[in-house]
A = this chain, B = another copy of it.
Amino acid sequence: MAIGRPRAFDADKALDEAMEVFWRHGYEGATIAELTAAMGINAPSLYAAFGSKEGLLKAALDRYSGKRAAFMQHVLDAPTAREVARRLLFGTADLQTDPANPPGCLLVQGGLACATGHENVPSELASRRADNEELLRERFKKAKADGDLPATADPTGLARYLSAQTAGMGVLAASGADRRALRQVATLAMKAFDSASGA
């Protein structure tokens, strides 16, 4: 059984470049021409490997999640709920201003609103943001069960609040806010967490 001509590009490397283009220009602002140029391949290769522009986005989102998985695990592994919040907020401030990446968060920059007919792009991004929020919520439920958080604590509300912080920081970063500014927001956001968790 013949195997065929081997692929001449590294799919993960190409996805990194595609991710960066979507991150910087959003789904609709990223053109196939720009994507193929950044990925170092041409259109037929892109479509053979990823099916469509939307398929490429989903693959890039998967890769994004994968790259952030270690960070999220580090956050969730924190010994206390407070430390979870602290790691998330300050880690996010640093990640969203990492000069190695476009500013902000792909799940926000990628596209909050899209053209008629592309509704599932914003909803896909929203769904992935919700996944992160859910991880935090479960972590806080556990903290509550463990007595780390008081019985009056609201895991859903805390998780949603932190979700709003990371999204808000993403918007600030997109506007050019620097690391110091985002850390300052994180510092203030921690105060709310402390009040709400009875610290």
Contacts and interface: CB of A to CB of B under 8 A. Distances in A.
A91 interface: no
A42 interface: no
* Copies of chain A in the complex: 2
Given A112-B104, A164-B185, A189-B161, A118 B194 contact: no
Given A164-B171, A171-B164, A191-B192, A28 B115 contact: yes
Interface string A107-123: 01111111110100010
Nearest to A26: B113
Given A169-B164, A188-B192, A195-B195, A174 B112 contact: yes
Mostly, the A contact residues are helix
A59 interface: no
B30 A115 contact: yes
Contacts of A115: 25-26, 28-31
A130 interface: yes
Contact of A168 (B109, B164, B193): B164
A110 B174 CA distance: 13
A161 B168 CA distance: 9
Contacts of A192: 188-192, 195
A184 B157 contact: yes
Chain A interface size, as a band, is 35 or more
Nearest to A163: B172
Nearest to A122: B174
A24 interface: yes
Interface stretch (A6-14, A138-146, A175-183): A175-183
A22 to B, nearest CB: 9
B195 A116 contact: no
6 contacts: A157-B184, A157-B185, A160-B184, A167-B167, A168-B168, A188-B192
